[in-house]
Structure 1
């Protein structure tokens, strides 16, 4: 699809406090979403919950786009440079979501979050062969430090007895590829278009698979399914608004407060008690991620 000939509005001036507020809100909403997912996956297939997340995503975002009016909606959706690239992004995000939902069913929220925070480290490594980017010794040292944090956070694991411990790594790998695909295909696209096509790819594929794993939804669980779908769209929109209001290097670190939200949710809702090693590993991973986000050389 060729880019629209209509000029999109110029970006507004940075509003750092508003950007930070949006990022804090997005992080809290992500944690609420994942808490609901973990609850539902105890009774339903993670694939069915993934479908609900993407179906809700499309309903909320589609309704918002229609509220903007058809001419503006068409302009936004036609603003992309590569439709296949956008669908590739969506499939990678779907893969990350599926691995995440499978992991949430078996593992504590905090452990999954900490491993997912290694995605920026994987982005740095994968950008070398995929985007031909160079990594300086300082950034390479940060990556090594971060992966040492991953080893500490995971701790000694018998992978044959606990294969579910591998699931967060699949999530982090898919999410890293998703970020690289966004850098490659979605850099100049309207953020709402990127959000729409990523959600559309996930909704289409999950809709093809979900009939094979469908379990009738109990009446009392319907509100939670609807909430998961709504939070999936609103949290992503909050993330986009944060990035539009302030530089990513400023607002991204505030997403790491999910460590706090995940600790509280895991303890209050599921009775999880994190190990000290999880926090020690998180410190190294987050420190490495912040270094990579703020240092150019």
Structure 2
């Protein structure tokens, strides 16, 4: 099949992406429970930056071509936003666990749809607004406000989802003028610079075993991003995006089997509502695209 039209391969790659990123989340949960979140994310970003620079150096024009952009402020803001979002989400893993954090984070496609109007000027029809509303009913099922004592920490993954949605929309915005390679380069380098300014103040000695886990975290991060790039190279985003929900499933399996987390009924029910609403918004986007 021609480039950009191999849907079966794209789906297989997206499922592989979900497995790799779920593994990364499990490793992040372990390391952030033992060491400062900022230090863990900083080291991860050092490797990520080295990876994107090496990728850029191998392409035509090299690093200079990859770094060239007419919107450096927005590109830098994207990088800062993603770095901050990762810090927030990893913090959620340590407080709430992988199961509940991912169940709430699954709302981010709905947030993309809701914010695409004010940020990008895109039209959002009434059907998608209904789906967005239904999806947030699912979020409320998970958060359980008003039932017993509401844990304020439950809004941490929701804040992460909002940040990731804005990051995604800004990525769409810069894509009007910049290539994927340029956006990828700025994501890694600006995030690494920002995390270095913060993370060096929280440096802690790490034992040899956890340095091994840190190496695994860096490798899974690079592998996951490489697989994601390949996914969008071989298939249309709208065809493979629904399969990104597998990350929530795989992350939940890691949380339950490795960390002894419990899948509560309200989380299952709420996540099912969110995923159904998210799939509907993706379907509507494809229909109108």
Same fold? TM cut 0.5: yes
Q: Does the CA contact (< 8 Å) of 2:27 and 2:213 recur in 1?
A: yes
User: Kindly tell me: are residues 106 and 70 of structure 1, through their superposed partners in 2, closer, same or farther at Cα, counting changes over 3 Å?
Assistant: same
Could you list the runs of 5+ residues in structure 2 that have no partner in the other structure?
none
1:65 aligns with 2:65: no
1:276 corresponds in structure 2 to: 265
Q: Does the CA contact (< 8 Å) of 1:86 and 1:186 recur in 2?
A: no
User: For structure 1, which segment, 35-44 or 153-162, has the greater mean C-alpha deviation from structure 2 after superposition?
Assistant: 153-162
Could you list the runs of 5+ residues in structure 1 that have no partner in the other structure?
1-10
Counterpart among 33, 40, 58 of residue 42 in structure 1 = 33
1:193 corresponds in structure 2 to: 182
More helix by proportion, 1 or 2?
A: 2
Counterpart among 41, 46, 65 of residue 75 in structure 1 = 65
Q: Does the CA contact (< 8 Å) of 1:143 and 1:288 recur in 2?
A: yes
Q: Does the CA contact (< 8 Å) of 2:33 and 2:94 recur in 1?
A: yes
User: Kindly tell me: are residues 255 and 229 of structure 1, through their superposed partners in 2, closer, same or farther at Cα, counting changes over 3 Å?
Assistant: same
Counterpart among 254, 265, 269 of residue 254 in structure 2 = 265
Q: How many residues were matched structurally?
A: 285
Structure 2: how far apart are the matches of 1:102 and 1:135?
32
Q: CA deviation at 1:276?
A: 1.7
User: Kindly tell me: are residues 13 and 131 of structure 1, through their superposed partners in 2, closer, same or farther at Cα, counting changes over 3 Å?
Assistant: closer
Structure 2: how far apart are the matches of 1:35 and 1:20?
23
Q: CA deviation at 1:81?
A: 4.0
User: Kindly tell me: are residues 161 and 260 of structure 1, through their superposed partners in 2, closer, same or farther at Cα, counting changes over 3 Å?
Assistant: closer
Q: How large is the RMSD of aligned CA atoms in angstroms?
A: 2.1
User: Kindly tell me: are residues 18 and 81 of structure 1, through their superposed partners in 2, closer, same or farther at Cα, counting changes over 3 Å?
Assistant: farther
Q: CA deviation at 1:225?
A: 1.0
1:120 aligns with 2:89: no
2:142 corresponds in structure 1 to: 153
Q: CA deviation at 1:289?
A: 1.0
- C-alpha offsets along residues 264-285 of structure 1, whole Å, 9 cap, x if unaligned? 1011110011112111111111
Q: Does the CA contact (< 8 Å) of 1:47 and 1:210 recur in 2?
A: yes
- C-alpha offsets along residues 65-122 of structure 1, whole Å, 9 cap, x if unaligned? 33x26734443443x4422221111111112111101111111202111111111111
Structure 1: how far apart are the matches of 2:76 and 2:170?
10
Q: Does the CA contact (< 8 Å) of 1:150 and 1:281 recur in 2?
A: yes
Q: Does the CA contact (< 8 Å) of 1:60 and 1:230 recur in 2?
A: no
